[in-house]
Structure 1
């Protein structure tokens, strides 16, 4: 679940969407930033910081306590690679609260880990039906798995791509992303990853342009556009940068996450 590389002012920050813990009552479309240790960051902290930060977009929904408990139990079983038991718990949670996308999303992810790509795609699509404005990486998953089904991408590409998230150091992440772009140069999500992981600004811009020219999914495209705007802003091209994120906010296909990030970035650029 990676959404990376936002440049705020002259400060370079890499953002990742974290696995959020759904609360019983949460404010709709609030953007929350945390550091690598899980500590909350204010927007002032963010602007003055460097390094990697995580973000999540919270949504307003009351969650049944039993469904929430089953979901957490399922996630724990999944971490222990007890996938079938995890699937059973997730299905129980979905029966209790069928309008809650999170267990459906995790069901898709669990089938992905089992190598059942058809089932994974089925439940990512169900997630997208419940959350048409985006939910974590569901749109990227659909883009990838449908591409695999159609023969546009090799089978197992999305699972291989997820190894970037699982890698424990930047060099390994870069190695995996480069290997994917070399083998499948039209796979936009891998270019998005390189655009955040590489140090050189020129290389990041090249990765952004290659990603944008590869017919990306809407989530990936939004992040690439935001990243491009912020690099332009860091070079003093603020009006061009503001136009990019401003237009992104009003496009109907822009995901909720990208709308909220674009608003934050537009405000940050304007205040610099």
Structure 2
């Protein structure tokens, strides 16, 4: 009889050991840890950021199109002020503003969109020649048509312009980052519009320069949606591909 009962005891021991392993695994699977880490960032003026905006062309009031919106403080934002425009007129600002990359890596501009509750009457290009018409391939072959009064022209998955790697220095920009000593120019602070600006005519080249100019053309047709204030928001989409 003992010989017949002995295997059952062994089987029971293995069963108990198996249950202990299963319970231990379940306990280990539901263990959690708590840890922490710090972080920091610095909110700065839009003319001093890693992807920053600079002014150039003036509006009808003699102040730069790009200017601070409201009070110039730590919460400052910028806007474009075009002034009073009339029907049957076309206004072209070849350097409405510029974008400068201060990141240590290249940044792509993919597409631009404009949202507004009104008609925008607006066309937007990226280009390298500050005082040339980006809409003309003859005067400025670098122009990339981005937005046409409600329609995104350059597809969102296509790179329109490559801003070369910056140097984390908001006081300058560079037309050829392979030689910053000989190809940099200042982006001076404008005390009236409260933004940095440049009127340097050295052309920018996609992939070589850390900046690009934005041309805006506003075509006010004969029959408008309504007379009065028109406002909206310009969205500029960036993309960076970092090497491992």
TM-score range, shorter chain: under 0.3
**More strand as a share of residues:** 2
Give the TM-score normalised by structure 1.
0.23
The higher relative CO (CA closer than 8 Å, separation ≥ 6) is in 2
Kindly indicate which of the two structures has a greater share of residues assigned to helix: 1
